[in-house]
Amino acid sequence: MSEEKGNDKAKAKPPVIISTGLGQQVGEIVLIVLFLSILSGAVSLLLGFFGDGDIYGLRATFAHLYAVANMVATVIAMVAIVIAIYSFMRISEIAGEETKKLGLALNWNSERKQKNARWSRVETYMTSLNPSDWKIAILEADNILDEVVERMGYIGETLGERMKKIEASDFPYLEDAWTAHKTRNSIAHKGTDYELSRSEAERVINMYHRIFTELGYL
């Protein structure tokens, strides 16, 4: 079955880049904590040079500064830990969402035999000379598309409702999916009254094939 060329060529989707802003902030906070810890150690060492008979006011001042620096360092360390935990959780969440959008969560490889059998039925119908069989091929391909979209996590009573919630950047050949689905609806509503040519049948089936190939279903 021939593949369409030109504008149907797949557009490469830009890689997902997760912002490192939070990681930079955590790094800066850790440096501040390290600096304050060194400062506290220096103050503690300096206090060791003073005995009970030395200048009490200066000793008290350094002791106060040491206590303040130690408290600030503790607070900043706690904040850094909280930010680090939040950053990890957020990055994991974003990665999970992107994985879902890319369709990787479908895990089609575990169903290779079953899915090939379903698509083989579609191709078998297309080898027929009877337009009614071509219509069945399109209906079967649309059923596969319905299952794919549903398993990607999109919610709705019908395939059309679920597809309305899909962003073009999250789904390969979304416009083709709509075109093919509308053809399926025309066939389902008009039945034998819908005149389906061989070229149109092949064009629609090729749309389904490109979508399933891009998603890893085929």
Beta strands in 50-173 (DSSP E): none
Distance CA 139, CA 142 (A): 5
What pLDDT, on the 0 to 100 scale, is given for residue 18? 39
Q: What is the mean pLDDT of residues 89-102?
A: 64
Where are the chain's structural domains? 21-101, 108-215
Residue 137 scores a pLDDT above 60: yes
pTM of the model: 0.51
Q: What is the mean pLDDT of residues 7-25?
A: 45
Condensed to tens digits (0 to 9), the pLDDT of residues 39-88 reads 666 666 555 555 555 555 556 666 667 677 777 778 788 888 888 887 77
Contacts of 78 (CB under 8 A, 6+ apart): none
Tokens of 120: 């083989």
Condensed to tens digits (0 to 9), the pLDDT of residues 162-216 reads 989 888 888 888 999 999 999 999 999 998 889 999 999 999 999 999 998 888 7
